[in-house]
Structure 1
Amino acid sequence: MANLNRRPVASLWIGESLHYLNQLCLKSHILAGHPTTLYCTDDVKNAPEGVEIRPASEIMDIDMSVVDQTSASFLSNVFRYKMIKKTEAIWIDCDAFCHKPFPDDMEYIFAGHGFRGALNCGVVSIPAQGHLIDSLLDYYENLPDAPPWFNKNQKKKLERNASDPLPVRIYKAERTAFGPQAFTYFAQQSGDFEKALSPDVLYPVPFQLNDVFYDPHGRVEGHFTENTLSVHLYTNGTKPWWRKNAPLEGSYADRMCREIGIDPNLALK
């Protein structure tokens, strides 16, 4: 087992079992020396050796009725900042592969994403005390009738779902309103937007090209730079076929599974 002498990382899992890509990503952090905690809503039994399983309720109660009306990842956008506030661990999505360890002295870890330039919150480290995290938590705990950045069309969508609970209405109007949109807006308001790392550090492959991870002829590493620390695999955007089948031999997903020691066939959807 790796010597876990680096900064702690943590994530959330809503469900009973991990997919092989989630196993791969969690184990990659263990092997890089990061103590890795997985907060869970259920009794997850197929986490890789070395991952510490903790109840999600230690950080916050997960309203499963909201999850059922939105998505399994929706409330993770609230959870991550509450977790950072309480533990100061680095948040990692369960589909973020550790390419290189996170430096001990890197206080701000977040980056731009894809082709649009907005921030993503798949990997986040921000101070547990400060304007940015306080603004994010205040937004979630005191939801406005409409997020302050919503345009007319988004507000009309809110009105069409007026009978739903407010978090569900916001989700239906804009799926990323609790995630990247909120993080981008409040980082701009706090003046922390300029602290963002370049996309190659955390999201070297744009979301729009996520199929490349399963292509045995894809040149995934061509997207990497010497600054790359994490590789986001975007399982939420993956075509359903890849969730149900082992990766093709020679693809990036296949090569990383062999390198890390994960058998995809044991954890398919």
Structure 2
Amino acid sequence: MSVPQRRPVASLWIGEKLHYLNQICLLSHVRNGHPTILYCTHDVSNVPAGVEVRKATDIMKIDMDIVSQTSESFLSNVFRYKMIKAIDAVWIDCDAYCHKPFPDEMDNIFAGHGFRGALNCGVVYIPPKGELIDRLLDYYENLPEAPAWFNKQQRKKLDKQDRSLPQAVRIYNAERTAFGPQAFTWFAQQTGDYEKALTPDYLYPVPFQLNDVFYDPYGRVEGHFTDNTLSVHLYTNGTKPWWRRNPPLANSYAARMCEIEGVDPAAALEE
């Protein structure tokens, strides 16, 4: 039986090689019928078959000097909204595993995250025309002296930054999530879109603090899921080095998903 074609999803990769966790996450969207686009800053040697590769510069100019002074996540935080504006696709982080297809009729795909009520932007779709996306893009393109939500301590850290640095770097050094969840949460609150957020079980059923469970052969990851669950965030930025450099243990969630997606984890480990 053929898989119905669904709305497109897209992500960004900075580097020359995917980890096996990134491969299974991209393939999970392909398997669920989503045209899956991977924008790349470099030639990537091991993109799985079925994933469409495009140049990141199709969406925006890439300043790798800024990336080197901040992080890959800084660039992706700017990139995701420009991508949505340009091609009207759902943004997926490369460590978001598709549990079920994203409904075509869902106009707002974002959710609260963890235990603090902030919104995460690891999986995001917002209308490409609207106040929220316009305000997010204006923030990135016209950086303020300090983000409006910065508290006294954050402003002190910002004031200590060398003024010869690019403003993006100064803000990032003061608060690394100022371009990600903090910005998204703040502007969604200002526009009234915060109330449209899905509950965490839709996109982040396993809390970040428990991400070791993905590698535990006796852990029941699916116990965190509900009927609402569409995506499972694997939080590779919090994965311990051993799991990044070694194949997952048999019967762990990571190993079982490799079997489903037909990926050999030993062939795509972190060196």
Which TM-score tier does this pair reach, normalised by the shorter chain? Answer: over 0.9
Q: Which amino acid aligns with 2:62?
A: I
Q: Provide the rounded CA distance (Å) in 2 between the counterparts of 1:160 and 1:266.
A: 45
Q: What secondary structure, in the 3-state scheme, does the structure 2 residue paired with 1:30 have? A: helix
Query: Which stretches in structure 1 are left out of the alignment for 5+ residues?
Result: none
Q: Provide the rounded CA distance (Å) in 1 between the counterparts of 2:132 and 2:78.
A: 13
Paired residues for 1:41-190 under 5 Å: 41-162=41-162, 163-190=164-191
Q: Deviations over 1:212-269 (max 9, x none)?
A: 1111111111100000000000001111111111111111001110111111101001
Q: Deviations over 1:171-229 (max 9, x none)?
A: 11111100000000000000000000000000000111111111111111110000000
Q: Taking every aligned residue pair, what percent have the same amino acid on both sides? A: 75
Q: Provide the rounded CA distance (Å) in 2 between the counterparts of 1:247 and 1:97.
A: 16
Between the two proteins, the alignment pairs up a number of residues equal to 269
* Deviation for aligned residue 1:49: 0.5
* Deviation for aligned residue 1:45: 2.2
TM-score (norm 1): 0.98
Q: Which amino acid aligns with 1:247?
A: P
Stretches of 4+ aligned residues off by more than 2 angstroms: 1-4
* Deviation for aligned residue 1:4: 5.7
Q: Which amino acid aligns with 2:182?
A: Q
Question: Quick check: 1:245 aligned with 2:268?
Answer: no
Question: Quick check: 1:16 aligned with 2:16?
Answer: yes
Q: What secondary structure, in the 3-state scheme, does the structure 2 residue paired with 1:75 have? A: helix
Q: Provide the rounded CA distance (Å) in 2 between the counterparts of 1:35 and 1:214.
A: 28
* Deviation for aligned residue 1:164: 2.0
TM-score (norm 2): 0.97
> Residues 85 and 128 of structure 1 are in contact (CA less than 8 Å); yes or no, is this contact kept in structure 2?
yes
Over aligned residues, Cα RMSD in angstroms?
1.1
Query: Which stretches in structure 2 are left out of the alignment for 5+ residues?
Result: none
Q: Provide the rounded CA distance (Å) in 2 between the counterparts of 1:211 and 1:70.
A: 26
Q: Deviations over 1:99-132 (max 9, x none)?
A: 0000110010000001111000000110000000
Q: Deviations over 1:78-117 (max 9, x none)?
A: 0000000010000000000000000110010000001111
